[in-house]
Structure 1
Amino acid sequence: MRRKFRDGRFLTTEKISPLKEKTPEGYLLCRDVPISRVGSFEYSAAEVGLPSLTGSSVHVLRPEEQIFNPETIASFEAKPVVIGHARFADPDNWREIAVGTTQNVRRGEGDKSDFLLADLLLTDRKAIEAVESGDLKEVSCGYDADTQETPQGIEQIGIVGNHVALVVSARCSGCKIGDGSMTTSLKTRLRKLFRDGNEDAFNEEVDKLQVQDGDAPDATPAPAPTPAPTPTLEERLAKLEAAVAAIAKAQTQRPVGDADTPPAPDAGADQNDDNDLIDDPDAQAIIGDAEALCPGMKKPVGDAKGGKFTRNQIERVMRTALKGAGVKQFGDSSELDGKALDIAFKAAVAMSKSGKNPKASGTRYGDSAEDSVNSIAYVQKKLNDFWGAK
């Protein structure tokens, strides 16, 4: 009889890549993941709690002595891994949003010495699939922090970790789940292993591999592109409202009659065409945002084959959340669809984020790139003014 043992360390039985392994249960262990780093990061003034500078972007320093403070490092230990920053974790919601745990948090070494590293153990199947497919491979810390003005500029202090999120785009460059490199030495060992076989063909295939890290010491890196100026919060909100209005107007001008009536489905055809299905990570992210926007709404169940969600069903979820939250500044949610509905829903979620979960102290940060361009505090104030006027 085979026995299982526990000794405080990870037991893995399958190596996916140099930095990814599977446990006997099928959990995915991602080692040496950079979750944050020292540096200067651009935020909106509203995000860092500086209303006097609303409309401006602010560069905030994350100094070495703060990010590598023993208390900060300990605050991220064993915290949940989640998808996106729709909600900060607490005892009431962690069971719903957690997809894994953060462990072995420490400072990196060598060329990673400016990074805070951790091992992420992913235990949720959909999150594992999203990482393995590359749909979600960047990471972003969610945390509370204060700011102070110093001769060097505005600095974050008192960082207290809440979660580590899997995101599409992280504010911290280099904060992503890696696979490790196919190094020159490994290529050499592979060639030696197959030396008695069809060596020419094998070498030809090996040389087609993408060169990474130390494989091309003479390569000159391409110059970094000049970043485009970040639009102000007011400009982004105005563009959102204008985009929804334009799309809604175009929809009202569509011709009616037979041309506007969808054809009856073929009785012998599959009602759930693959092109109409939403990828699981995308569907779950939208459902999570909808539940955060409208707490208490009925949780949907996938109505397509295999429990998948269709585009029509996800659109119903978004309309229900908009209606339940009382969001009306983009028009009647029941009449929105397609791109107009997507924009209105994302804007409404951004409005509600700052009002969820009381802060432990200071300002609450979710360091994915999309947070730096969402007008959270500004649109929340507009929504509060709208409700107050009623």
Structure 2
Amino acid sequence: MKYFFNTRLGPNRYLLGDGSLLCKDVPIARLGDQAYRAEDLPELTPDDDGEIIVTRSADEVFSPEAMASFEGMTVVILHPEDEAGEILFVDPKNWRELTIGHACNVRRGQGDQSDLLIADLVIKDALGIQAINDGLRQVSCGYNAEYDETAPGRANQYDIRGNHIALVPNGRAGVRCSIGDAQSMASKAKQWFASLRKAVKTKDSAAAEELLNNAPANMVGDDDEDDGVTTVVVKVEGPDAAVPHGAPANAVTDESSDIETRIAAIEAAVKALTDKLSPPVGDADDDEKKEEKKMTGDAGYQQDVLSRAELILPGFSLPEGSKMGTLKREVLGAALRTADGLKLIEPLSGKNPDFAKMSMATVDSIFNGASELAKSRNNSGLSLAVFTANSQSGDVAALNEKNKDFWAKKGAK
């Protein structure tokens, strides 16, 4: 498909004649397995971890009906939500309030992107353009689908029908489904390493290969600033090459090695870094291992845990590679030692709780309950301008008013 543009802003971004932003060749969905929480798919039976692994086949994702259903669909900032917190679909009644652009030229990727559904996104809204320029680059599709449960915790997805495409901080499909550009959020070292760790754990070799080939400068020793990111030397000399512990500075890979060898080396490095940065809290039990497995399978779940932790203990510091189960226990324990935290947690846990000895299910209940109490206590919605997952559709209306003012002033000149 051909476009007329005035300026090329990056590898995949163009300024069109009317001032809108064209983002070409954006992966919006991928094949394979993705992890969902039980509450996301209440009609299905979860596994013992409380999650459901959903498989998307090529026949379903690339069916003519599924691809056509995304053609011309609305682009939004974050998934809109109703008053109950459920994803709100875009329709003629709310389209004007929510839309920032549309998708077009939906097709299957080629070559090493043959497992991806690709689209061009045309962003018409000034604040939407600013959001992308500021780093809101990952995408997540809103859609209807049917599910065939094959076992507890396993299901196949079919009859996929698109409704909208959302710009999000952390999409379920990961960094592969994002607007590609040199200023992408993945260029930040911390997020790069977290994305790489997830790719290794989920054995997503394509995502790992892409991250390895696009390592940010401060992961390869080209950045003079010390931002606190710990890096590990990974020098691959063969399939059984050892990774030194406590190695400094640069992350090095052997480009001639095949991807499986590189993945194995990185997995060893990730384990070394995780062991170094994760302080022990009691004995690691089966619940803790399940919590770690759940975190690595769903970036959306991890983001939810971090958001809740911030509500319970504002300003907490997350060690890179920290397990989510350990994080929950430590946040609850630390918050309990503060006046505000005591008011939140004690009604749920009772006096003098020992979070290290509690089951993961009990910790989850207290952690989620305390965060909801904190949210009610704060009683203040967050603006979409800061691009958090808690933004509500009411904020979109406010953005729309600002946008009207922007164009009114522009036309008056």
Instruction: Tell me the TM-score normalised to structure 1 length.
Output: 0.51
Q: Which residue of 1 aligns with 2:349?
A: none
1:239 aligns with 2:277: no
Q: Which amino acid aligns with 2:55?
A: L
Q: Distance in 2 between matches of 1:138 and 1:283?
A: 12
Q: Distance in 1 between matches of 2:392 and 2:373?
A: 26
SS at match of 1:223: helix
User: For residues 81 and 14 of structure 1, do their structure 2 counterparts lie closer, same or farther at Cα, with a shift above 3 Å needed?
Assistant: same
1:73 aligns with 2:67: yes
Q: Which residue of 1 aligns with 2:298?
A: none
1:288 Cα deviation after fit: 3.4
Q: Which residue of 2 aligns with 1:139?
A: 139
1:130 Cα deviation after fit: 1.1
User: For residues 22 and 234 of structure 1, do their structure 2 counterparts lie closer, same or farther at Cα, with a shift above 3 Å needed?
Assistant: farther
Q: Which has the higher relative contact order, 1 or 2, with Cα contacts under 8 A spaced 6 or more apart? A: 1
Q: Which residue of 2 aligns with 1:178?
A: 180
1:84 Cα deviation after fit: 1.0
Q: Deviations over 1:35-63 (max 9, x none)?
A: 00001011122322336548711101011
Write the mapping of 1:252-263 to structure 2, written as runs, cut at 5 A: none
Contact 1:127/1:281 (<8 A) preserved: no
Contact 2:169/2:388 (<8 A) preserved: no
Write the mapping of 1:118-129 to structure 2, written as runs, cut at 5 A: 118-129=119-130
1:11 Cα deviation after fit: 1.2
SS at match of 1:95: helix
1:9 Cα deviation after fit: 3.9
SS at match of 1:239: helix
Match of 1:217 among 250, 255, 265: 255
1:239 Cα deviation after fit: 1.2
Contact 1:37/1:116 (<8 A) preserved: yes
Q: Which amino acid aligns with 1:67?
A: V
Q: Which residue of 1 aligns with 2:101?
A: 100
SS at match of 1:126: helix
Q: Which residue of 2 aligns with 1:381?
A: none
User: For residues 50 and 27 of structure 1, do their structure 2 counterparts lie closer, same or farther at Cα, with a shift above 3 Å needed?
Assistant: same
Contact 1:79/1:164 (<8 A) preserved: yes
Q: Deviations over 1:154-189 (max 9, x none)?
A: 1001000000000000010210000279xxxxxxxx
Contact 2:138/2:169 (<8 A) preserved: yes
Write the mapping of 1:162-201 to structure 2, written as runs, cut at 5 A: 162-173=163-174, 174-179=176-181
Q: Which amino acid aligns with 1:140?
A: S
Q: Which amino acid aligns with 2:61?
A: I
Write the mapping of 1:22-101 to structure 2, written as runs, cut at 5 A: 22-50=15-43, 52-53=45-46, 56-86=50-80, 87-101=88-102
Write the mapping of 1:314-353 to structure 2, written as runs, cut at 5 A: none
Q: Deviations over 1:235-279 (max 9, x none)?
A: 645313224657999x9xxxxxxxxxxxxxxxxxxxxxxxxxx87
Q: Which residue of 1 aligns with 2:217?
A: none
Q: Distance in 1 between matches of 2:74 and 2:400?
A: 24
SS at match of 1:228: helix
Q: Distance in 1 between matches of 2:70 and 2:127?
A: 23
Identical amino acids, percent of aligned pairs: 33
Q: Deviations over 1:75-115 (max 9, x none)?
A: 00000000111221011001100000000000000000000
User: For residues 287 and 10 of structure 1, do their structure 2 counterparts lie closer, same or farther at Cα, with a shift above 3 Å needed?
Assistant: same
User: For residues 97 and 53 of structure 1, do their structure 2 counterparts lie closer, same or farther at Cα, with a shift above 3 Å needed?
Assistant: same
User: For residues 92 and 234 of structure 1, do their structure 2 counterparts lie closer, same or farther at Cα, with a shift above 3 Å needed?
Assistant: farther
Q: Distance in 2 between matches of 1:178 and 1:96?
A: 27
Match of 2:386 among 282, 293, 299: 282
Q: Distance in 1 between matches of 2:18 and 2:179?
A: 21
SS at match of 1:13: strand
User: For residues 103 and 44 of structure 1, do their structure 2 counterparts lie closer, same or farther at Cα, with a shift above 3 Å needed?
Assistant: same
Q: Distance in 1 between matches of 2:140 and 2:400?
A: 28
Flag the structure with larger Rg. Answer: 1
Matched positions, count: 235
Contact 1:44/1:233 (<8 A) preserved: no
Q: Distance in 2 between matches of 1:216 and 1:27?
A: 41
1:117 aligns with 2:132: no
Q: Distance in 2 between matches of 1:103 and 1:286?
A: 28
Q: Distance in 2 between matches of 1:52 and 1:110?
A: 36
Contact 1:42/1:60 (<8 A) preserved: yes
Match of 1:16 among 9, 21, 33: 9
Contact 2:45/2:52 (<8 A) preserved: no
Contact 1:126/1:280 (<8 A) preserved: no
SS at match of 2:392: helix
SS at match of 1:128: helix
Q: Distance in 2 between matches of 1:102 and 1:247?
A: 34
Q: Which residue of 2 aligns with 1:356?
A: none
User: For residues 288 and 242 of structure 1, do their structure 2 counterparts lie closer, same or farther at Cα, with a shift above 3 Å needed?
Assistant: closer
Contact 1:83/1:285 (<8 A) preserved: no
